[in-house]
Each structure stands twice: as C-alpha cells, then as structure tokens.
Amino acid sequence: MTWFTKFLSSSLGKKLLMALTGLFLILFLAVHLTGNLQLLKDDGGKSFNVYAEFMSTNPLVQTISKGNFAFILIHAVYALIITVQNRKARGPVGYAQTSGKSSIWASRNMGILGTLILIFLVVHLKHFWAEMHFGSVPTVNIDGKEVRDLAGIVNYWFHVEWYVALYVFCMAALGFHLWHGFASAFQTLGLNHLKYNGLISFVGRAFAIIVPALFAAIPLLMFFDISF
C-alpha cells in the first residue's frame, strides 16, 4: 500500500475525498442550473438546444463530464463505506455535526437523502443524458445547422405528472442534503474560522434553498407552459 492509498483508506482521507468531490458537485450544480434555466426562454427551445449541443460535443466539456461522473461515483461509494463503518462502530454519522434543528435532522439522514438523489440521477440520466448520447433525438434546424432537439425531449417529460412530481420531491431532498453538506465540507477541509463561519453558513443555506428551488421551478413552470 502506498502512502496515498493508505491515506485514502484512513478516516480523514475518506472524509476529505467526500468534501472535495462534494464541493466540485456543488460547482457542477450551479453551472448545470444556469444552462437549464434557458429552457424557460420563450424561444421554442432554441437557446437550450444550442447550449446542449455545445456541451455534448465540446472535447473539454466532455473531459470534465467524465471527471464529474467519477466524482459522483466516488462521493456515493465513500458515503456508503463511511455509513457502514459508523454503523458498525455505533459512532456518530460520518459528517461533521453542525448546530440547528434542521442541520441535525439533515446530518442524521445524509445517507437517505443521498440515496434519493442517486435514484433521481439514474432516472434523470436515463431520460436525458443517455438519450442525448446514445438515443436517436430528432433534429431541428437552427440558423442553417441541424441540432438535436433535446429541449423537445425535456418538454415531453416535463408534461408527465409523475415525472414532474418526482423532480420536485427529489429537489427537496437535494436541498436538505446541501443544507448540511455545504458547511460540513468546509468544516472537514478545515476552512472554518470563527470570523467566516457565519458567512459560510449563510452562503451554504442560501445555495441549499435557491438552487434546488430553481431546479424544481423548471419542470413546474414547463408543466403549466409558463415561459419568459
């Protein structure tokens, strides 16, 4: 065993990996949301389709995407290992504890919340990502260029009741997961300081409310055919 693999299997190494991958995934969520908000533009899906075509064909984005999938896998597998080890040791949950009722509830249920998000991801990736990369998405002509109509696929699913309900429910789970995870990641990385704790906590909680709420608003608004 090298020092690196030894470190990764240590308790601190596992928590650090969870925190770093978690922070990367938080960054991904912010970028993903910005792109997806284009679905709400009243332009027949044009802006979103141009964006999606760029994201699914650009080599640099595709390399980052592979890293993104690896980070999701590492984050989920290590979460499972930490949870099992803590259950065996009957110790506290493998995340740093923070104060507040909702924080304690979220920290105790990070495993369940994470599992819900994982189930959401399997459904989500099957219908959108796999369709874009391995399916036969019809094309539309945008400014003389044939572009796959991913907006049409999203629009179809966001008019299916159970699908919209699943998204809204899972975004609530994502909110609770982020509510605890954001501050916990900073604490694990040792980036907590009495002077900045208040700010980190505020930014984390604002992110945990605003980002999932906007993600949930997209299917809801599309379901009722509301665009801007």
Out of 68, 103, 107, 188, point to the residue binding ligand HEM (CB under 6 A). 68
Q: Nearest distance from residue 219's CB to ligand HEM, in Å?
A: 5
* Positions in 183-222 near ligand HEM (CB under 6 A): 215, 218-219
Nearest residue to ligand HEM on Cβ basis: 65
Q: Is the dihedral of CA 205, 210, 215, 216 positive or negative?
A: positive
Which residue reads 């694990």 in tokens?
Answer: 188
Binding mask 89-118 for ligand HEM (x = CB under 6 A): ----------------------------x-
Nearest to 77 by CA among 17, 124, 129, 5: 17
Binding mask 143-172 for ligand HEM (x = CB under 6 A): -------x---x------------------
Residue closer to ligand HEM, measured from CB, 7 or 120: 120
Residue closer to ligand HEM, measured from CB, 73 or 199: 73
* Positions in 8-67 near ligand HEM (CB under 6 A): 32, 36, 39, 52, 55-56, 65
∠ CA(136), CA(141), CA(147), 5° rounding? 45
User: Which residues sit at the interface with ligand HEM, rule CB under 6 A?
Assistant: 32, 36, 39, 52, 55-56, 65, 68, 117, 121, 124-125, 128-129, 132, 150, 154, 174, 215, 218-219
